[in-house]
């Protein structure tokens, strides 16, 4: 990210607070949520986290040169001198960080047309497709999400998050503005909505893909999870929503969000505004007729599977509602390639096919196996695992789905983190019945190699869970690991090419 040399007096960051003159004129040269990033002239947000209270790190921030620490207060505002810096208490600090950060970075969101995409699955796919579509339509567009951020056409910068924290998000918006980006398609995770990471990001269009079981370790129950998603439709500056009518949660959105137009899309819902009919899933992709408020047309795509048709409908509905014509949108859709690690067919000519996909939730596994079945002439293999230190309720459920939809299931590791990999596998195995065809191997590389060696001609192997990820987290260490590279090597070896 380019150097940002702007400095601002504190009074411009906290205009609603009466500050003593000496404090009001303090010149702030950087802002941060992490004391370890504080430098001379910093403002440090000392917030309560899930593990620690940022107030414990104020001394560290001041030692590093921070001038001010903002803390939370039940009511009222107090300021007091502390060692070498000032502590200013602000009611509901967490909810205000985004706006303070926006001020510091020059309100970058006001000059961007932002599309926010939320949903359990499909955020990355939709934002990437939107980015590429707008690029194909001649717009200066960027993406921000699990794959990183950056203008389409340049390489993406990783943030380690789907939606970065409130400060980093505003810094990224400013960076994109400096690169003359006009549109941004960003993923908005439910964590981000709960933690106010995007509060001061004005959004023109909010897209909802679906709501299925995930992240219950964080949200507690499905109702709280759904409520988090609803907040995207109450976002600053919101003009319209685009929602998937095939998902039952769409009705809740329609009932709760009545102040903006909601454009609906669907494959199964004939009453949707944007609807696909006469769908043909063939070897090279999808073909369908689509009917929209902007006219009818034929959709052709290289993407695979029903859920990708759903994602494409979201993209078409968004682009057309933002003013592009259906004809130009459908022409651009036909040029879109699969998103890395999402239904990505491994490009080695072989007698078996391997698809790498990021499906790591029960619903995504169901979707990817159903989609793959349409393209499979032999047996369908499903290789999957479940992450450690995360929602364990989905483990047995994923085994049931794999057993129901694939011919052979292979259970392996997928970021076991600090849990015992074998214990996670044992949890997953409880979902199989005695008649199911399954095996287990905690070593993911060896599991993939074994399946690719054992598969028979015309079989199709789905490697689910890691997608584009280039690591495996075991304990607290990230080891280099790529399903794509391992599958390529194993396919080459199968075809007699050696590795
Ligand atoms: C559960 C969760 O969301 N945690 C986020 C949260 O951390 P936390 O509340 O645990 O922070 P903490 O460790 O208690 O520390 C409290 C505060 O003290 C600060 N601190 C801490 C240590 C120190 O030495 N100095 C210091 O200043 C921290 O920066 C923090 O502000 O606030 C941090 C700073 O903003 C985030 O980095 C962190 O995300 C962690 C890394 C994370 O993994 N989050 C995941 C669950 C997440 O948000 N994922 C979603 C995608 C989900 C999906 O769809 O798959 C995402 O949007 O990425
Ligand atoms: N619309 C959809 N409905 C159901 N499953 C989907 C949909 N789109 C993609 N998937 C499946 O979910 C997986 C994750 O897709 P994607 O990365 O686009 O979602 P995401 O919402 O960004 O997920 P995450 O937040 O976990 O990164 C894909 O690999 C695919 O298997």
* 496 CA to centre of ligand 2 in angstroms: 34
Cα(51) to centroid of ligand 1, in Å?
9
- Measured at the CA of 493, the angle between CA 489 and CA 498, to 5 degrees, comes to 95
Confirm whether residue 415 is marked as ligand binding: yes
Question: Residue 333 has what pLDDT?
Answer: 98
Residue 169 three-state SS? helix
- 436 touches ligand 1 (CB under 6 Å): no
User: CA 108, CA 331: separation in Å to the nearest integer?
Assistant: 32
As for ligand 2, residues whose beta carbon falls within 6 Å of it are 119, 121-125, 146, 162, 187, 209-210, 307, 310-311, 342, 357-359, 363-364, 367-368, 467
Q: How far apart are alpha carbons 249 and 192 in whole angstroms?
A: 19
pLDDT tens digits in sequence order for the chain, 499 residues long = 445 567 999 999 999 888 888 899 999 999 999 999 999 999 999 999 989 999 999 999 999 999 999 998 765 556 666 667 899 989 899 999 999 999 999 999 999 999 999 999 899 999 999 999 999 999 999 999 999 999 998 999 999 999 999 999 999 999 999 999 999 999 999 999 999 999 999 999 999 999 886 666 676 777 777 788 899 999 999 999 999 999 999 999 999 999 999 999 999 988 999 999 999 887 678 999 999 999 999 999 989 888 899 999 999 999 999 999 999 999 999 999 888 898 998 989 999 999 999 999 998 899 999 999 988 889 999 999 999 999 899 999 999 999 999 999 999 999 999 999 999 999 999 999 999 999 999 999 999 999 999 999 999 999 999 999 999 999 999 999 999 999 999 999 999 975 4
Give me the sheet containing 295-301, strands edge to edge. Answer: 148-151, 141-145, 183-187, 113-118, 205-208, 240-244, 262-266, 274-282, 285-292, 295-301
Q: Which atom of ligand 1 is nearest to the CA of 53?
A: 16
Cα torsion 6, 9, 12, 14: sign? positive
Q: Which helix (H) or strand (E) holds 383?
A: strand 380-384
ipTM: 0.95
CA of 28 to the centre of ligand 2 (A): 40
CA–CA separation, 22 and 43 (whole Å): 15
Antiparallel, parallel or unpaired: β 274-282 and 285-292? antiparallel
93-113 burial: b if 16+ Cβ within 10 Å, else e: bbebbbbbbbbbbbbbbeebb
User: What gap in Å lies between CA 443 and CA 446, rounded to an integer?
Assistant: 5
Q: Which of 441, 402, 445 is nearest to 425 (CA)?
A: 441
165 lines ligand 1 (CB under 6 A): yes
pLDDT at 411: 98
Q: CB 356: neighbour CB atoms within 10 A?
A: 28
Q: What is the DSSP string of 113-159?
A: EEEEEESSSSHHHHHHHHHHHHHHTT--EEEEETTEEEEBTBPPBP-
Strand 148-151 to strand 240-244: parallel, antiparallel, or no bridges (unpaired)? unpaired
- pLDDT score for 499: 47
* Ligand 2 atom nearest to 121, measured from its CA: 21
Q: Would you give the DSSP letter of residue 391?
A: -
Contacts of 444 (CB under 8 A, 6+ apart): 385, 412, 413, 414, 466, 472, 481, 483, 486
- Enter the pTM of the model: 0.86
**Contact partners, residue 371, CB within 8 Å, separation at least 6:** 281, 304, 305, 306, 307, 308, 343
Using the mean position of ligand 2's atoms as its centre, give its distance from the Cα of residue 49 in Å. 28
């Amino acid at each position: 990210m380019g150097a940002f040399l702007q400095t601002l007096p504190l009074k411009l960051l906290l205009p609603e607070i009466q500050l003593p003159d000496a404090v009001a004129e303090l010149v702030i040269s950087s802002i941060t949520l992490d004391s370890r990033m504080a430098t001379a002239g910093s403002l440090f947000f000392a917030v309560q986290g899930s593990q620690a209270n940022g107030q414990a790190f104020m001394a560290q921030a001041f030692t590093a040169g921070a001038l001010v620490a903002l803390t939370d207060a039940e009511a009222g505002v107090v300021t007091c001198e502390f060692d070498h810096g000032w502590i200013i208490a602000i009611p509901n600090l967490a909810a205000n960080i985004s706006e303070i950060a926006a001020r510091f970075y020059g309100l970058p969101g006001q000059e961007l047309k932002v599309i926010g995409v939320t949903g359990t699955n499909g955020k990355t796919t939709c934002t990437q497709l939107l980015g590429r579509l707008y690029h194909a339509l001649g717009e200066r567009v960027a993406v921000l999400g699990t794959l990183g951020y950056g203008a389409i056409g340049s390489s993406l910068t990783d943030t380690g998050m789907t939606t970065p924290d409130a400060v980093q998000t505003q810094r990224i918006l400013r960076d994109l503005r400096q690169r003359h980006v006009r549109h941004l398609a960003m993923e908005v995770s439910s964590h981000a909505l709960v933690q106010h990471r995007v509060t001061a990001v004005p959004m023109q269009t909010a897209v909802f893909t679906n709501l299925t079981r995930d992240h219950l370790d964080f949200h507690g129950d499905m109702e709280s999870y759904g409520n988090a998603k609803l907040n995207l439709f109450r976002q600053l500056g919101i003009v319209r929503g685009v929602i998937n009518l095939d998902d039952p949660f769409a009705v809740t959105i329609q009932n709760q969000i009545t102040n903006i137009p909601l454009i609906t899309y669907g494959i199964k819902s004939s009453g949707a505004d944007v609807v696909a009919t006469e769908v043909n899933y063939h070897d090279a992709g999808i073909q369908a007729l689509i009917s929209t408020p902007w006219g009818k047309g034929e959709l052709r795509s290289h993407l695979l599977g029903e859920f990708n048709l759903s994602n494409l409908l979201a993209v078409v509905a968004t682009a057309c509602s933002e003013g592009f014509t259906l004809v130009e949108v459908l022409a651009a859709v036909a040029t879109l390639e699969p998103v890395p690690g999402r239904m990505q067919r491994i490009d080695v000519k072989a007698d078996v096919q391997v698809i790498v996909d990021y499906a790591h939730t029960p619903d995504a596994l169901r979707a990817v196996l159903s989609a793959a079945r349409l393209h499979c002439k032999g047996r369908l293999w499903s290789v999957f695992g479940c992450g450690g230190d995360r929602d364990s309720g989905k483990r047995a459920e994923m085994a049931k789905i794999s057993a129901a939809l694939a011919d052979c299931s292979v259970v392996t590791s997928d970021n076991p983190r600090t849990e015992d990999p074998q214990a996670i596998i044992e949890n997953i195995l409880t979902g199989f019945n005695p008649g199911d065809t399954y095996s287990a191997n905690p070593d993911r590389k060896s599991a993939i190699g074994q399946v690719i060696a054992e598969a028979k001609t015309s079989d199709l192997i789905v490697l689910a869970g890691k997608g584009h990820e280039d690591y495996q987290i075991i304990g607290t260490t990230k080891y280099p690991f790529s399903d794509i590279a391992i599958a390529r090597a194993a396919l080459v070896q199968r075809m007699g090419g050696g590795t």
